[in-house]
Amino acid sequence: MNLIYSPVFGLLVFEMALFVALIVPMPFRIKRGLFTFISENPLVAKLQYGMKITFIFILILFVDSVNRVYRVQIELHNAKQAGGVAVGVAGSERMEVQARKFYSQRNMYLCGFTLFLSLILNRTYTMILDVLRLEEEVKRLKGQDPKSAQGKSGLGEAGGAGEIARLKRDLEKKDKDLQAMKNQSQGLSNEYNRLGDQVSAQDSIPKKDR
């Protein structure tokens, strides 16, 4: 296998193993702790960012392999049209073209399945998170697991993956601070208007009536 496509094959095997790990039945507490760790660990967030860049390169390889398959098909078609060539030369050339066709199709399927499985993994991860949130909410409402309240387990922020989850918390804190500043500003404005009304009322009274 080509040196470029060997890491792609390794990534495909890793994706298959990860998919099996996601669908393996596990107790609720273990699965909740695992997904909470995945969603809050900054190393996992960096790994996901690197994987996105890797998939962009795999997409480029997939487009290139499709282009190679198309060109090989054209060569085979031209070889069939040219029937007056010597049998030995035509046979060797045809075997070479068939070999290139095989390698091109292999690379195309390898990159295609890797990209397709990445989409399946992303969707499976999101669906499992939704199921865990629903199970957590049901347990909380039934009172079976008081520790599963959203916010304590971290599943309410799952899917944000580490750094994004932290930024969400910071954004919520800043929103609360902004709301407090707005309330304080409104209170100061009301007090200013009240004092202004008092001063205006005093100025409207004649000096001899004071």
99-141 pLDDT, tens per residue? 888 888 888 999 999 999 999 988 888 888 888 888 888 877 7
Q: Please indicate, yes or no, whether residues 153 and 170 belong to a single structural domain of this protein.
A: no
Spell out the alpha helix ranges (H) of 82-162. Answer: 87-142
pLDDT at site 21: 85
Q: Please indicate, yes or no, whether residues 124 and 191 belong to a single structural domain of this protein.
A: no
Residue numbers of the domain that contains 131 = 5-161
pLDDT at site 87: 45
First to last CA, the chain: 102
Q: Please indicate, yes or no, whether residues 152 and 173 belong to a single structural domain of this protein.
A: no
Number of domains the chain is built from: 2
Q: Please indicate, yes or no, whether residues 135 and 197 belong to a single structural domain of this protein.
A: no
Helix (H/G/I), strand (E/B), else coil: 3: coil
The C-alpha atoms of residue 170 and residue 174 are separated, in whole angstroms, by: 6
Q: Please indicate, yes or no, whether residues 66 and 143 belong to a single structural domain of this protein.
A: yes
Each of the 210 residues of the chain gets a pLDDT tens digit; together they read 677 888 888 999 998 998 888 888 888 788 878 887 777 778 877 888 888 888 899 999 999 989 988 888 887 777 676 654 444 445 566 677 778 888 888 889 999 999 999 999 888 888 888 888 888 888 777 765 555 444 445 555 555 445 566 677 778 888 888 888 888 888 888 888 887 777 776 666 655 555
Print the SS3 string covering 24-59: CCCCHHHHHHHHHHHHHCHHHHHHHHHHHHHHHHHH
pLDDT at site 151: 46
Last residue of a domain, one of 124, 143, 161: 161
147 Cβ neighbours under 8 A, 6+ residues apart: 153
pLDDT at site 86: 42
pLDDT at site 6: 86
**5: nearest Cα among 109, 122, 98:** 109
Q: Please indicate, yes or no, whether residues 121 and 170 belong to a single structural domain of this protein.
A: no
Q: Please indicate, yes or no, whether residues 134 and 169 belong to a single structural domain of this protein.
A: no
